[in-house]
Amino acid sequence: MSLKIYTAGPEVFLPNAREVMAKKTALCAQYGFTAICPGDLDIPPQPTLYEFGLAISRVDEEMMDAADAIIANLTPFRGIAADVGTCFELGYMSAQGKLVTAYTNVVENHFERTKAYYNGAISVGEDGHKRGPDGLSLEDFDMIDNLMMHGGVIRRGGHIAVHKAAPDALYTDLTGFEDCLKALAKAHSAKTVDEGMRPEDLDASNDD
Amino acid sequence: MSLKIYTAGPEVFLPNAREVMAKKTALCAQYGFTAICPGDLDIPPQPTLYEFGLAISRVDEEMMDAADAIIANLTPFRGIAADVGTCFELGYMSAQGKLVTAYTNVVENHFERTKAYYNGAISVGEDGHKRGPDGLSLEDFDMIDNLMMHGGVIRRGGHIAVHKAAPDALYTDLTGFEDCLKALAKAHSAKTVDEGMRPEDLDASNDD
C-alpha cells in the first residue's frame, strides 16, 4: 500500500503555492507515495470569511485523518519560530500515532535564533536558566525549534532534516523534504503499513 | 469525576513560572478540577541538554495523555503568533478528542497583528488574497490566530476567551483562563465525563 503523506508547511501562503504543492506531489510519487496537500484551494464558498476559515480547518483535519504520515516544514515563518498551523498539525499527527518527519531550511537552531531575537543580551538567572532582558527563559537543547516539535518527532523515531536554503528559496527548496521522503521510503521498504509499520520503524538519524 | 486539565502556555518560560502555575492550579481547584501543569520542574537530570529536552517532551505528552481537557494560552509570544509548543499541544489534544479551550491576552486578532507586522503594507493579489510585500498571503478570518488553532477549538464546541491584559501582566493575567474554566464547568455540570461528555457539549460561544 502506498503511504499517504500530509505535506504541512507555510508554503500554502506563497503566491505560487499550487506550483510548490505540485512539486511536492511529484516528488512523493517518485518514491511511490501519495501526497495529500492542505490549503484552501478547493474549499466551497462560505457565507463569511470566518466560516471559510472554519471550513479550511475541517478539510485540513480530514486530510490528516486520512494520511499515514506527515512531512512538516518547520522553517521559521514571520519570526523566529515555525508556522503555528504546521505545529498544530504536527501535534495532531503525533497524537494519532502517525509517522512524523520534519525539515527546516535554516541551519541556526532554536537557541541561536532566540538569542539573536534578544540581540545576544542573554543572562543566566539564579535558577540556572538562560533568560532574555524580558525575563523569559530560552530553551537551549540543540533542537530546530521548541522541544515539543523536535522531541515529538525524534521520540517517535522520525527523521529531522536540516538544510541551508538560499534566501530566495526559503520556502520552496525541497532538499529537506526529499530527505524526509528517503527516510520514509527506507522504513516503508523494510515493512509495509499493511504489515503494521509503527513510528519506531523510522530512521531515527538526525543530520542536524 | 474531577476533570483533569492540562494548562498549556508560554508562562512556563517566566521567572515566576511556579507561582503562575500554582495560581492556575488553585483556580482549577475552585471549579472542582485538577490542574496538570507542564514544564521542566520535576524532570530528572539527563546526560545532555538535548536529552533533557527529549525528557520534557515525553513528560509533557504523558501529562496530556492523562488529561481530559486543555486550556491553551495562545497569547502572542516573541512575535505575532502563539507559542509554537502550545500550538503542538492544542493539536495533540484535539486529535485525541479531548475538551479543548483557549484564551489570549491581546484583543488584536490574527489579521490585525499580521498587518502590523508588515507595517500595513498589504496589497490584494490577482487571486484575491491579501499579501505582504514578501508575497506571503495573510489569513483574514476574524480569528485569534492561525485557523488551525481557532478552528480546531470552535469546531469542537470549545470556548475561546479574549481579554485585554495590562502590558506587565501579558502572561500572568488569568481572566481568560478563568473564562475557560467557567465554560468547562458549565459543560461538566450538564454531563459528567463518566456519562460520556463529548467536545460538542462545550459552550461554543465566543466572546471575541
- pTM for the model stands at 0.92
For B92, the closest of A91, A127, A154 (CB atoms) is: A91
- Scanning every residue of chain B, which has its alpha carbon at the shortest distance from the alpha carbon of A76? B84
For B92, the closest of A95, A136, A154 (CB atoms) is: A95
- Collapsing DSSP to helix, strand or coil, B130 comes out as strand
- Which residues of chain B fall below pLDDT 50? 193-194, 197, 204-208
Calculate the average pLDDT of chain A: 91
pLDDT digits (tens, 9 = 90+) for B137-180: 999 999 999 999 999 999 999 999 999 999 999 999 999 999 99
Contacts with B82 from chain A: Cβ below 8 Å: 84
Residue A9 to residues A17, A26, B32, B105, B197, Cα–Cα distance (Å): 11, 17, 40, 27, 34
* Angle CA B131–A167–A27, to nearest 5: 85
Q: Residue A79's closest CA among A56, A103, A106, A60?
A: A106
Residue A40 to residues A13, A26, A53, A57, B108, Cα–Cα distance (Å): 10, 20, 9, 9, 24
Q: Residue B88's closest CA among A201, A6, A83, A12?
A: A83
- Scanning every residue of chain B, which has its alpha carbon at the shortest distance from the alpha carbon of A152? B57
What pLDDT score was predicted for residue B38? 87
Interface of B with A in 140-169 (CB under 8 A): 140-143, 145-152, 154-155
CB-based burial, A146-161: b 16+ in 10 Å, e otherwise: bbbbbbbbbbbbbbbb
Q: How would you write chain A as a 3-class SS string? A: CCCEEEEECHHHHCCCHHHHHHHHHHHHHHCCCEEECCCCCCCCCCCCHHHHHHHHHHHHHHHHHHCCEEEEECCCCCCCCCCHHHHHHHHHHHHCCCEEEEEECCCCCHHHHHHHHCCCCCEECCCCCEECCCCCECCCCCCCCCHHHHHHHHCCCCCEEECCCCHHHCCCCCHHHHHHHHHHHHHHHHCCHHHCCCHHHCCCCECC
What pLDDT score was predicted for residue A126? 82
pLDDT digits (tens, 9 = 90+) for A68-124: 999 999 999 999 999 999 999 999 999 999 999 999 999 999 999 999 999 999 999
pLDDT digits (tens, 9 = 90+) for A121-135: 999 988 889 999 999
Tell me the C-alpha distance between B123 and B129, whole Å: 8
Q: What integer is the mean pLDDT of A180-205?
A: 67
What pLDDT score was predicted for residue B40? 60
- Test the B interface: residue of A87, A100, A144, A155 with most B CBs within 10 Å: A87
Contacts with A89 from chain B: Cβ below 8 Å: 91, 148
What pLDDT score was predicted for residue B29? 97
Phi, psi of A145 (to 5 degrees): -160, -170
Strand-strand pairing, B99-104 and B69-73: parallel
Burial (CB count within 10 angstroms: exposed 0-12, middle 13-18, buried 19+), residue B64: buried
Helix (H) or strand (E) holding B50: helix B49-66
Q: CB of B8 within 8 A of CB of B86?
A: yes
Q: Does A118 touch chain B (CB under 8 A)?
A: no
Q: What integer is the mean pLDDT of A41-55?
A: 91
